Structure 1
């Protein structure tokens, strides 16, 4: 289906997301734990889709997404966070799912937004 960039600093959550998105048709996945790693990963392999936490140990997911979009154009994003009210900038059409999230909800949104 597409290459996915997972921006998530919790390894167990990142692995869960990877397994779920692969089951839904993601053809390849990169995982980044910080804002800088996410930007570098996108430069190496342009993502067709991004999932991102908001708060990272180093930087923020929304700032990483903004920089990636500045360089690569519009890319669909699902922000997955325990702090949805702190998602800045997170503007429509971006989707925000609150942790803990339901796997079927994430799968459904991914199928709707991911490029074929």
Structure 2
């Protein structure tokens, strides 16, 4: 017996279930594949069925869950997938050139919004090393690829903010669309290298529908979705985007996701 009462086990199971969409988001972004990411998330859950001692260390539950994942990830050698093709294969070649552990630290900090201290607990390294990993990651990711970005966003202030962020990173902006029809028209005039899209648009149309329509003709184009409810996209019941930014977002989140999505993302459609 591990000393954990049935009531405690039930509470912990419910807590882990509530955090699973965020672990899957991280695993998906880290591996560049929904299938591979879910494999690592599932392996983490299986490991926790055998040993939940990580939750007895006084850590925040989310920190403990991600620490358990990191142990699985590191023990497998943080492998680079070899079965991918197209945009995924190109992404994996870029990934192989990056400094070890940098993407993990950057994703944990900017997308999952862990503090440096929490990342140190997850990765089991010193805080000074975490800061250095994040610094290296930002430089390597932002220098890797520059391109043309289509922004699909109906709120003018947010659209202007996103424009400023991606332009400051050195990317060109092909246009800003407020509706599904507008987005499709802009993509038809100039094919973007990446799409940054809201979910709900001005006329009640869907950013997801706009992206799906664009991808049918544009092919391999990485996509980042912005939503106030990321868990609604991360259910495991359908194809999902590799990068999901939660509103309200930070500049760091956008910069991190854009840098990585430019060479490491999925263009699978979402049937919602």
Per the normalisation by structure 2, the TM-score is 0.40
- Structure 1 range deviating more: 47-56 or 82-91: 82-91
Cα distance in structure 2, aligned partners of 1:10 and 1:86: 21
Larger helix percent: 2
Within 5 A, what are the aligned runs for 1:1-116?
A: 1-58=146-203, 59-87=205-233, 91-93=240-242, 95-115=243-263
Change (3 A) 1:34 1:87: farther
Question: Higher RCO, 1 or 2 (CA under 8 Å, sep at least 6)?
Answer: 1
Change (3 A) 1:90 1:18: farther
Q: How much does 1:62 deviate?
A: 0.5
Larger strand percent: 1
Change (3 A) 1:87 1:63: farther
Q: How much does 1:53 deviate?
A: 0.4
SS at match of 1:111: helix
Q: Mark the runs of 5 or more structure 2 residues left unpaired by the alignment.
A: 1-145, 264-272
Q: How much does 1:105 deviate?
A: 1.4
Per the normalisation by structure 1, the TM-score is 0.89
| Aligned CA-pair RMSD | 1.8
Q: Mark the runs of 5 or more structure 1 residues left unpaired by the alignment.
A: none
Q: Which has the larger radius of gyration?
A: 2
**May I ask how many residue pairs the two structures share in their alignment?**
114
SS at match of 1:36: helix
